[in-house]
Amino acid sequence: MTDAPAPATSGQPIHTDVAIIGAGPIGLFAVFELGLLDLKCHLIDILDRPGGQCTELYPEKPIYDIPGLPIVTGQELVNRLMEQIKPFDPQFHFGEMATSLEKLADGRWKLVTDAGTEIIAPVVVIAAGAGSFQPKRPPVPGIEAFENAGDGIGVHYAVRKMETFRGKNILIAGGGDSALDWVINLAPLAKTLTLVHHRDGFRAAQHSVNQMRELEKEGKVKFHVASVKAIHGEPGKLTGVTLAGHDKSEWHHETDAFLPFFGLTIKLGPIAEFGINLHENLIPVDTARFESQTPGIFAIGDINTYAGKLKLILSGFHEAALMAQAAFHIARPGEKLRFQYTTSSSNLQKKLGVS
């Protein structure tokens, strides 16, 4: 539960060899393959940590089909990849979404994020999986009109500054850790705080549930087994919602703010606007270079498509290796690529810091 990262304020574009969109397992391994060829990388990810789906969806679940690792959890795999690429000093821009991609007059690419970070590089690698993780939006008709209504009012999927909710009537929906954490943290400063959830039970940590029950006893939190069926007010000015119980009873509930916490889901996001050819939300690539139909823009991992494609982590690793070979010739035109093995090349071993 952290506040959003501060936007980049330097205003200076970053120059590097490769900009990678997505810091999941494939984006991370791409750093390794590019690093062996002396190409430096900056990575952008909308999440606040590396790992993508591996750490967001299944950090504790074992994976059994990584070659050489008979069993490894999503989090362990990501930890090992981070260790493996450390010698190449990748630069991460977490909590940022790549929002635009533009070709410069000199042929390089300028990638801009929603935090204002600008990365200029000859090569862009899209390793974005199924897209970017975004908060799940409850299926309440017209809810969009109440998003971005302002501090402490309307619909919010995250709490950036608690203070903006002081003295407000707050409605929270959900039963996970985020929902209960914010019930506990906002109850002391809210005018009223109401929690709705579809059952009288919670997946959140037991100590959070206990705290919530305590606040309910003290009358500082109201809890209903219910869900939000309709939302009322003028666009930008929320006045209340219709709540419904499982017995089909419905009632009006006045509120200034509505905070749904149902975790994240994956949407393709701004990549669709980059001008790259897409086929059913996937990027067609050739299987020699894993380059999109736009030269200089590569796509590896679950985001790409080609004859015989399998959405497996191990396939993404292979794609990263071939991509790096092709990317080298774009980033270092005219230079000779020396193909070497890490087992035998003292040059590579020096880069890896092992000799």
Partner 1 sequence: MKIFAIDRQGKEYTLEGRDGWSVMEILRDGGLDIAAECGGACACATCHVYVNDGWFDKLPKPSDAEIDMLDMALAVEPNSRLSCQIICSDETDGIKVTVAPE
Per CB under 8 A, residues contacting partner 1 are: 53, 57-58, 61, 130, 136-139, 174-176, 197-199, 201-203, 227, 246, 262-263, 265-266
CB 110 within 8 A of CB 124: no
Q: Which residues of 148-182 are buried (b: 16+ CB within 10 A; e: fewer)?
A: ebeebbbbbbebeeeeebeebbbbbbbbbbbbbbb
- State the nearest-atom distance from the C-beta of 130 to partner 1, in Å: 7
- State the nearest-atom distance from the C-beta of 263 to partner 1, in Å: 4
Nearer to partner 1, 200 or 218 (CB): 200
- State the nearest-atom distance from the C-beta of 169 to partner 1, in Å: 23
* Token code pair at residue 32: 């390794």
Q: Within 13 A of 142's CA, how many CA atoms are on the CB side? A: 15
Contact residues for 239 (Cβ-Cβ < 8 A; gap 6+): 232, 233, 254, 255
Q: How far is CA 13 from the centre of its chain?
A: 22
- State the nearest-atom distance from the C-beta of 229 to partner 1, in Å: 9
Nearer to partner 1, 248 or 336 (CB): 248
- State the nearest-atom distance from the C-beta of 147 to partner 1, in Å: 16
Nearer to partner 1, 103 or 229 (CB): 229
Question: How far, in Å, CA of 331 to CA of 327, rounded?
Answer: 6
Nearer to partner 1, 204 or 352 (CB): 204
Nearer to partner 1, 160 or 246 (CB): 246
Contact residues for 207 (Cβ-Cβ < 8 A; gap 6+): none
